[in-house]
Amino acid sequence: MNKKAALFDLDGVLVDTAKFHFLAWKQLADRLGIHFSEQDNEKLKGVSREESLDILLGLGERKYSEAEKLAMAEEKNKSYVKYIQKMDASEILPGVLQTLTSLKSRKIKIGLGSASKNTAIILKNTGLSQYFDVIIDGNIVCNAKPDPEVFIKGAEGLAISSQDCVVFEDSEAGCQAARSAGMYAVGVGKKENLPSANEIIANFKEFKVEALF
Ligand code: B16
Ligand code: MG
């Protein structure tokens, strides 16, 4: 296909932070007396912090004020940050480093497109920062996935046109964002969770760089 750039989602694609998001949301849910399962957590993948909180609170009965919600989002983030502060390179998902190295050796541009506002600390602690030519995260974008803004800004930052970009995403919202941006979406995970992806890989160990780039 001779694509010219690769745009990676962070959480669930390069590193396994979904488990930390789950533990931090679960802590909040338990305190509020809301039942929150790993299945419920699937719906929060790729979704912004504020929207995630709304989904979680929707599983309970009570309504909360904006001020209460702000405090809850901060509470969740505090416990999440405690987990990611302890992260290191061992948290990088299988096959990711080989893929990034192979893309670099082929002179393919590499970008990051994440909804997270905690991108900097995760990239620093795992040593992944060095691979990226552009980093677009939740501190830069105004519109959350499935809006294509995060990937459009990524392509602009790399000066590569959308149709030459491949997006790697573990969330359906992210695959929709990639498709809306006119990009090729590789879903990382299970087909049933990612109907908008152009193709699916279970993980990067089975991804062949030469098939798309
Ligand atoms: P934060 P991604 C997303 O990151 C996560 O998948 C999602 O679960 C999380 O709510 C969102 O980031 C915001 O993260 O609370 O750290 O700002 O998958 O787009 O890399
Ligand atoms: Mg993700």
Query: To the nearest whole percent, how much of the chain has pLDDT over 70?
Result: 100
Query: Which residues, in sequence order, are CB contacts of 50 under 8 Å at separation 6+?
Result: 69, 73
The full set of domain ranges for the chain reads 5-16+89-211, 18-84
pLDDT score of 75 more than 90: yes
The kind and range of the H/E element at 19 are helix 18-32
Token couple for 70:
């702000």
Active site residue 9: yes
**Residues 119-178 pLDDT 10s:** 999 999 999 999 999 999 999 999 989 999 999 999 999 999 999 999 999 999 999 999
pLDDT score of 40 more than 90: yes
Q: Which atom of ligand 1 is nearest to the CA of 10?
A: 20
CATH number of 5-16+89-211: 3.40.50.1000
* CATH class of segment(s) 18-84: mainly alpha
Residue 58's CB is within 10 A of a number of other CB atoms, namely 10
> What is the DSSP code (8-state) at residue 15?
B
Pocket of ligand 1, candidates 116, 175, 176: which has the most ligand atoms within 8 Å of its Cβ, to mutate?
Answer: 116
Token couple for 203:
């993980």
Which residue from 56, 48, 51 is spatially nearest to 11, judged by alpha carbons?
Answer: 48
Whether pTM exceeds 0.85? yes
